[in-house]
Structure 1
Amino acid sequence: MSGEPSLFSRASAEIIDLHRFFVDWFVAARANTVDFGRFERAMGEDLSMVAPDGQVLDREAVVDHVRSSRASCDDGFAISIEDIRPGWQDADTIVVLYVEAQLRAGKHSRRQSSAVFTTSSSAPNGVEWRHLHETWLQVPER
């Protein structure tokens, strides 16, 4: 057994780290301190995403949306990741399920997410996002 972290450990760390990036990137007071390249390196070239509203996005649309959302939130914006658990996996690919809870402009939302990761030596945490599917558990309050 090698001393290298498991695929599930690396994917879990990536989920947590990427959402920390989002908070820093979206909060106006911290946006200037963030390297957007970190996000781009984590997104696989053929990434696809199913947004909570059912819209299907390719990598370019996801990257463009995140880039254009820079500094769009106040200091109260927060994300927490809950209930991370492994799904199917093989030697180089894993499905990870988790719940993302957000607080934005004083309003709470929650989404169930499933993400597919593959190993990549050039990506943060050694894994890259290949597919993400999000479903509303709690639609943002009005």
Structure 2
Amino acid sequence: MSLFGKASAEILALHRFFVEWYDGATAEAADFGLFERAMGPGMRMIPPSGAVLDREAVVGHVRANRGAFDGDFDIEITDIHLVWEDRHAVLVTYVEWQRRAGARTARLASAFFTENPSAPNGVEWRHLHETWMQVVGSE
């Protein structure tokens, strides 16, 4: 499988994990170790706020919010696109749609992965940059 294929699988798997981890009804079954192994050393995240978070801050934030929702949280990933790929690294973009307590938001993300055969999907997150998108209309 190409690195782009591995990165796509990782993006989908990570967000399925988030839905399970953040739901109080399913958090107990979620495997936090898979999440930790997917976050590469030196990983950085820039959320829509513009803050720069290191790996420890990202892992700590996710760990602290276990079971934060009561069945009112969902994520859908769309529009995964390859930007650049070489033999050991890949840059992709995707759109993350979230629904929290009936409110819908969207983020455009750019993610950089490096190959790591021992990571859950064969790639590890090294850099993630998200920005808000305008959500038009309601459901």
Report the secondary structure of 1:124's partner residue: coil
Q: Map of 1:87-126 to 2, 5 A cutoff?
A: 87-126=83-122
5 Å-filtered alignment, 1:1-142, equals: 5-138=1-134
Q: Which secondary structure does the structure 1 equivalent of 2:121 belong to?
A: helix
Q: Distance in 1 between matches of 2:72 and 2:56?
A: 28
Letter in 1 for 2:91: V
Q: CA RMSD in A?
A: 0.9
| Number of residues of Structure 1 aligned to a counterpart in Structure 2 | 135
Deviations 1:4-61 (A, max 9, x none): x111100000000000000000000000001100000000011001011101000000
Deviations 1:50-86 (A, max 9, x none): 0111010000000000000100012121000010000
CA distance in 1, matches of 2:9, 2:106: 20
Deviation readout 1:114-140 (Å, 9 max, x if unpaired): 00000001101100000000000038x
Structure 2 CA distance for aligned equivalents of residues 138 and 79 of structure 1: 16
- 2-side partners of 1:14 and 1:6: how far apart? 12
What is the aligned-residue identity percentage?
59
- Structure 1's consecutive aligned runs of 4 or more residues displaced over 6 angstroms after TM superposition are none
SS of corresponding position for 1:64: helix
Distance in 2, Cα, partners of 1:97 & 1:34? 26
Matched residue type, 1:123? A
State the distance in 2 between where 1:113 and 1:138 align.
Answer: 14
**Structure 1 regions of 5+ residues with no counterpart?**
none
